[in-house]
Chains A and B, each alone.
Chain A
Amino acid sequence: MSVARTPVDGSTSYSVAADLPLRAGIGLRAQHHSDLLRERPAVGWIEAHSENYFAAGGVQRRYLEQLRAIYPLSLHGVGLSLGSIDPLSQTHLQQLQHLVRQFAPMLLSEHLSWSSVDGRFTNDLLPLPYTEEALRHMAARVSHVQESLGRQILIENVSSYLQFPHSTLSEWEFLAELAHESGCGILLDVNNVYVNSQNHGFDPKTYLLSLPRAAVKEMHLAGHIARQVGNRQMLIDTHNQHVCEAVWDLYGFAVRLFGRVPTLIEWDADIPPLGVLVAEAQEADLRAEFNHVVAA
């Protein structure tokens, strides 16, 4: 595994754990806690939403401790509101710090998004305008979080349903620059790239080809739906479906480009039985193996 590049300020560099699992992982949902412990399916790793385990104690947190002993763990934040112009929540950051200290996750990630302003939260992953101002702001925030936690974080591209006329950069230029400036890794959500390419009309392969290859350290796969909104057909990132064929194809392209990096199946709405997720993860393994061989 490569070591993350030194951030431009040269202050700190962050290395990545040596042996990341090759097999695909699954997103952890409370509904599957006891099934996972009992059945111990052969998935490579699990990823938990950090905020779901901010609790001081109790049954859910104990489940995570037990699962951590069985599977490599990734912690994935949805609430830090990194792109917001509000001050970073110190409470949130401290809770994350506690969690990271206790669970020592192999990967730690957040989003290229914001969710609040003036203290009012939408608890959604809202897109940023892709401007120099937003880039400087986001890079400074990511650097601050990495320094506070003493490790690299990965930043995930989000799905979006509108574009800002203010934007002067493309989303992929913004993400590549962010990784360059802050030294963060990239969590490439292949489904989100596809959803945005359809909603905003660009070639998803251009997106992938523009990313710094060594920075991509994790991939997400999920399902989406198409919905008629007004007079437009939009793709909505719902995480309630199987991965569609077009996204599998794009995943194959990504594996040929970036190699095999830890890949996760996200399915967190209309949550199916555990077996369905495990089968989807096996499908990802098959696709990755095949495309890896093709590339080699």
Chain B
Amino acid sequence: MSSLRDLQRQFVEALFDESPDGRAGIEIYRNNLHEGFFKALALEFPVIQRLVGEDYFRQLARSFLHAHPSRAGDLHAIGAPFPDYLRGRFAGTQYAYLPDVAELEWAYEQASIAADAELFDVRSLACVRPDSYGELRFNLHPACYRVRSAYPILRIWQVNQPDADTDLAVDLSMGPDHIVTRRTERGVELVRVQHGDYRLLECFARNETLGEALSTLQRITPAFDLGAALRRLIALGMITNQGALP
């Protein structure tokens, strides 16, 4: 085994070790590791930091670092396991909404970096024969992420924005929430959608045809109005043009 490999393993081991190390250099690199990870995580989950406070968030980041260290040279990826990590810690407690809020923040992050795509043009439906509507497949815009929660996560997210009125209260019984991300010229928006619309997006995400989606939806909500739901989702820019037509 090369000595370079040995040296690198010992070095990284020493940085991840939590017991005191007398060497000044190691302390500086450890501090870089902890602070760099904490700051990157705080950029991705600002609402979680606001909800639990900076000190506790710093502790969370430290234990999360050991459970899920960065696996890439691009720090932007570290947050992916964070919602589930929080679920493991807070499920069944009075803070059970935290993982769902984290999921919403991660969806927001992912939506902000997703690929650009052309929006669905309704006029392209004109050339489809009515008897083949059931065969249509609609593709979701790459920036369309979906999060649902038993808690009012959008309200929690909104009152914890930097410019929000800090006196606003949240009634945790105001859920459930079905939230979808969309991207506009200015950035990402979080949109609350109806339960049926949310389920329709899930059908499309599973690549179901319109016919399959309709029968799924009719089982869940017998009064579901497919045409109205489609128009809403297209107007919101959740559907792309690519590969939609049979």
- Asked if residues A121 and B73 are in contact (CB atoms below 8 Å), the reply is yes
Q: Interface code B20-48, partner A: CB below 8 Å = 1, 0 otherwise?
A: 00111111110011001100100000000
A124 to B183: give the CA distance in the assembly, Å: 32
Select the residue from B15, B69, B72 with max chain A CB neighbours within 10 A.
Answer: B72
Known A121-B70, A161-B24; judge A56-B29 contact (CB<8 A): no
Supposing A57-B113, A58-B113, A85-B5 touch, asked if A123 and B25 sit within 8 A by C-beta, the answer is no
Give the size category of A's interface with B. 35 or more
A277 close to B (CB within 8 Å): no
Q: List 15 A-B contacts (CB under 8 A).
A: A54-B74, A57-B115, A57-B143, A59-B112, A60-B113, A81-B73, A92-B73, A118-B9, A122-B36, A123-B40, A126-B11, A133-B2, A161-B29, A162-B24, A164-B7
- Per-position binary interface string of chain A over residues 78-90, scored 1 when its CB falls under 8 Å from any chain B CB and 0 otherwise: 1111001100010
Q: Does A293 lie at the interface of the complex (its beta carbon under 8 Å from any beta carbon of B)?
A: no
**Other A-B pairs beyond A116-B12, A129-B4, A162-B29, 9, CB < 8 Å:** A55-B113, A60-B112, A60-B113, A116-B73, A117-B5, A117-B8, A117-B12, A123-B70, A162-B24
Q: Which of A36-44, A143-151, A227-235, A247-255 contacts B (4 or more CB under 8 A)?
A: A227-235
What number of residue pairs across chains A and B have CB atoms under 8 A from each other? 128
B138-160, CB < 8 A from A:
142-143
Seen from chain A, the residues whose Cβ lies within 8 Å of a Cβ on chain B are: 51, 54-60, 78-81, 84-85, 89, 91-92, 95, 114-124, 126, 128-129, 131, 133-134, 137, 160-162, 164, 166, 227, 229-230, 232, 234, 236
A121 contacts B69, C-beta separation under 8 Å: yes
Residue on A with the closest CB to B32?
A124
> How far, in whole Å, are A232 and B75 apart by their CA atoms in the complex?
31
A123 touches B37 (CB 8 A): yes
On whether A161 and B69 interact (CB within 8 A), knowing A58-B112, A84-B8, A117-B5, the answer reads no
- The contact of B8 among A55, A85, A230, A236, by CB within 8 Å, is A85
Q: Known contacts A55-B113, A122-B12, A126-B29; is A133 also within 8 Å of B73 by CB?
A: no
A185 to chain B, nearest CB (A): 21
Which of B28, B74, B117 has a CB less than 8 Å from the CB of A234? B28
**3 shortest A-B CB distances, which residue pairs?**
A79-B73, A162-B25, A55-B113
Complex contacts, A122 vs chain B, CB 8 Å: 12, 15, 29, 32-33, 36, 70
A80 is contacted by which of B2, B25, B29, B73 (Cβ under 8 Å)? B73
Nearest CB of A to B11, in Å: 7
Per-residue CB contact flags for chain B residues 82-123 toward chain A (1 = under 8 Å, else 0) read 000000000000000000000000000000111111000000
Specify which chain A residues have a CB less than 8 angstroms from the CB of B37 in the assembled complex: 123
| A-side contacts of B219, CB under 8 Å | none
Partner of B72, one of A79, A131, A134, A166: A79
Interface centre among A114, A122, A234 (most CB of B within 10 A): A122
A136 nearest in chain B by CB position = B4
Contact with B25, one of A116, A134, A161 (Cβ below 8 angstroms): A161
Could you say which residues of chain A place their CB within 8 Å of the CB of B36?
122-124
Interface: B166 (CB within 8 A)? no
- Indicate whether B187 reaches chain A with its CB closer than 8 angstroms: yes
Contact of A89 among B29, B73, B186 (CB under 8 A): B73
Q: Is B76 an interface residue (CB 8 A)?
A: yes
Contact partner of A230 (CB less than 8 A), chosen from B24, B70, B73, B74, is: B24
Note all chain B residues with C-beta closer than 8 A to A230: 22, 24, 27
Q: Are A124 and B7 in contact (CB under 8 A)?
A: no
Q: Are B113 and A232 interface neighbours, CB within 8 A? A: no
Determine whether B3 belongs to the interface, using a CB cutoff of 8 Å to chain A. yes
- Cα–Cα, bound, A119→B69 (Å): 9
Which residues of chain B come closer than 8 Å to A115, judged between CB atoms? 73
For A52, the closest partner residue in chain B by CB is B76
> Looking at B28, B69, B70, B73, which has the most chain A CB atoms within 10 Å of its CB?
B73
Known: A56-B142, A58-B116, A129-B7. A92 touches B24 (CB 8 A): no
